[in-house]
Amino acid sequence: MSKKKILKYLYHSGELSSTKIGKILHLSAPTTLAYLNELMDEDFVEDRGKGNSIGGRRPNMYGLKKNSIYVIGVDVTRHHITTSIFNHELESIAKIKVESSELKSETTLNKIYNEVSSVIDDSKIDPDKIMGIGITMPGLIDSELGINYTYLTNNGKSIAYDLQQKFNRPVFIENDAKARTLAELRYGAAKDFLNVLYLQVDWGLGTGMIFNGKLYRGNSGFAGEFAHIPLETDGKLCPCGKRGCLETVASGDALVEDAISSLNSNVESAIYKYCQNKDNKLTPKIIIEFAQKGDQFALSLINKLGLALGKGISYLIQILNPELIVLGGRVAQASEYLETPIKQSLYNYCIPKLREDAKIVQSNLGSKAGILGAAVIVMEHILEN
């Protein structure tokens, strides 16, 4: 356990002296050096030479050896499964991306198993150095039990346990928005902030919350179902079974549905012409690209979505008083075209002082947030627990 804790602190700190490690773990100097020597013999840790002196002799510094440990990240969305192997510096060693038509328990779990096995084989690394596998996916997820109550229900059995038996190594699953929130906290726009909201505006709408520098899960682990607050009375039917949820008007699905239902009234739009070719599939990315080219119909669609999303965000700001709101996901790539109507709604619905204290920024991790989040949850579980 002490050796594992040494790996944890070296992972978080980069490098430490034996004296510092001993103080953190309340170990004697000889015991600390003995553990470090064992970890060096096992090829986990390396001696990085002398560090800076703060009085007295310069201490020897120790850090994790490059490519000494690996984790596997699997990012499962409604349309793709992306698998990658990372070293402890979260550099991607090997990556595979496959189409996934539907989230069905047996089919999707088999795909995950096959793709993880393939990426391990392709990487040529020592499988014994793989510390664990992290899987992110949409849905209501109990990360402790490894159960997804929305998709991949697996007949109520633990997805994590079943895959752990197949891979013979730890497997962790997490809600996609929460995993991305962790990635933002450790490596992205939320780093060095204590109270942050992360909004994943993708095909669906997800939320992650950081309070006092830690991911907030709530009593049952389901905190953050912001997408399903009622925004419109007798609105569209939501996949959750209710009507008028925020996700029905402020998500990638909503954006595409709104575009298709309004096409015949906007025949001059480039989107109308694009959709005349039956081989062309309309996506949030296509709509954003047309907006960036000045297409008024595309701009109006994003503006409408942003106004609805901003109204929802105003509730969160007034309840939670965050210092930072990070926007990620496909729709968030509309950047200022989305941010402007969000801020307009905040101006209309939010108490000025609270609104002014909440800065809104774009995710700087972009499309890497999902797969990076999958890797981070392994590091968090293995090294923290």
Per-residue confidence (pLDDT) for residue 283, from 0 to 100 = 94
* pLDDT at residue 385 greater than cutoff 60: no
* pLDDT at residue 28 greater than cutoff 80: yes
**What average pLDDT does this structure show over 100-111?**
74
**Predicted structure pTM score:** 0.87
* pLDDT at residue 336 greater than cutoff 60: yes
* pLDDT at residue 72 greater than cutoff 60: yes
What residues contact 229, with CB distance under 8 A and at least 6 apart? Answer: 245, 246, 312, 315
pLDDT tens-digit series, residues 201-217: 999 999 999 999 999 99
Q: What percent of the chain has pLDDT over 70?
A: 96
pLDDT tens-digit series, residues 152-208: 877 888 989 989 999 898 999 999 999 999 999 989 999 999 999 999 999 999 999
Per-residue confidence (pLDDT) for residue 235, from 0 to 100 = 87
**What average pLDDT does this structure show over 218-246?**
88
Cβ neighbour number for residue 106 with a 10 Å cutoff: 10
**What average pLDDT does this structure show over 14-35?**
89
Per-residue confidence (pLDDT) for residue 304, from 0 to 100 = 97
Per DSSP, the three-state class of 214 is strand
To the nearest whole number, what is the mean pLDDT of the chain? 89
Which among 202, 88, 37 has a CA at the least distance from the CA of 136?
Answer: 202
Confidence of residue 53 (pLDDT cuts 50, 70, 90): low
**What average pLDDT does this structure show over 224-246?**
88
**What average pLDDT does this structure show over 114-140?**
89
- 242 sits in the region (left: phi over 0; alpha: psi -120 to 50; else beta) called beta
* pLDDT at residue 382 greater than cutoff 70: yes
Q: State how far the Cα of 24 lies from the Cα of 255, in Å rounded to an integer.
A: 51
Q: State how far the Cα of 143 lies from the Cα of 120, in Å rounded to an integer.
A: 24
Is residue 142 within 8 Å of 158, Cβ to Cβ? no
* pLDDT at residue 55 greater than cutoff 70: no
142-156, 160-174, 353-367: range with lowest mean pLDDT? 142-156
Per-residue confidence (pLDDT) for residue 56, from 0 to 100 = 65
Cα dist from 260 to 234, 247, 297, 341, whole Å: 21, 17, 11, 21
* pLDDT at residue 375 greater than cutoff 70: yes
DSSP string, 285-321: HHHHHHHHTT-HHHHHHHHHHHHHHHHHHHHHHHHH-
**What average pLDDT does this structure show over 59-83?**
88
86-90, 104-108, 346-350: range with lowest mean pLDDT? 104-108
Q: What percent of the chain has pLDDT over 90?
A: 54
* pLDDT at residue 88 greater than cutoff 90: no
pLDDT tens-digit series, residues 290-332: 999 999 999 999 999 999 999 999 999 999 999 999 999 999 9
What residues contact 216, with CB distance under 8 A and at least 6 apart? Answer: 209, 210, 223, 224
Strand partners, 215: 210
* pLDDT at residue 57 greater than cutoff 80: no
**Helix H segments across 125-187?**
159-167, 176-187
Cβ neighbour number for residue 264 with a 10 Å cutoff: 8
pLDDT tens-digit series, residues 254-281: 999 999 999 999 999 999 999 999 889 9
Per DSSP, the three-state class of 283 is coil
Which among 74, 90, 172, 187 has a CA at the least distance from the CA of 132?
Answer: 172
Element (H, E) at 60: strand 60-64
Query: What type of residue sits at position 150?
Result: T
